[in-house]
Amino acid sequence: NVCQFLSGEVESGTRRKVKRLLSFQRYCHASRLLRGLVPHTPGSLHLLDDDYLGQAGHMLSKVGTWNFDIFLFDRLTNGNSLVTLMCHLFNVYGLIHHFQLDMVKLHRFLGMVQEDYHSQNPYHNAVHAADVTQAMYCYLKEPKLAEQLSPLDVFLGLMAAASHDVDHPGVNQPFLIKTRHHLASLYQNTSVLERHHWRSTVGMLRESGLLSHLPQWKSIYPIITYRGTYSIFSLTPPRQDMEQQLGSLILATDISRQNEFLLTFREHLDNQDLDLQLASHRHFMLQIALKCADICNPCRAWELSRQWSERVCEEFYRQGDLERKFDLEISPMCNQQADSVPANQIGFISYIVEPLFEEWYRFTEPSLLSQTMMGHLHKNKACWSRLRYAQTSLETQTHPQIDKLEPEGEGEEGESVP
Catalytic residue chosen out of the listed positions 88, 124, 181, 268? 124
Cα dihedral 292→160→331→347 (10° resolution)? 10
Query: Active site includes 378?
Result: no
Cα dihedral 63→69→70→73 (10° resolution)? -80
Residues contacting residue 121 through CB under 8 Å, at least 6 positions apart: 168, 170, 315
Query: In the chain, what's the furthest Cα-to-Cα distance?
Result: 89
Rounded CA separation 178/380 (Å): 34
Residues contacting residue 49 through CB under 8 Å, at least 6 positions apart: 31, 32, 33
Binding site members for AMP: 124-128, 165, 294, 345
Binding site members for Zn(2+): 128, 164-165, 294
Residue type, 9: E
Question: What length is written for the chain?
Answer: 418
Residue type, 340: S
What number of other Cβ atoms are within 10 A of residue 71's Cβ? 16
Phi, psi of 378 (to 5 degrees): -70, -40
Nearest alpha carbon to residue 170 among 125, 116, 112: 125
Rounded CA separation 182/204 (Å): 20
Nearest alpha carbon to residue 201 among 246, 136, 253, 152: 246
Rounded CA separation 296/222 (Å): 34
Binding site members: 124-128, 164-165, 294, 345
Rounded CA separation 8/11 (Å): 5
Catalytic residue set: 124
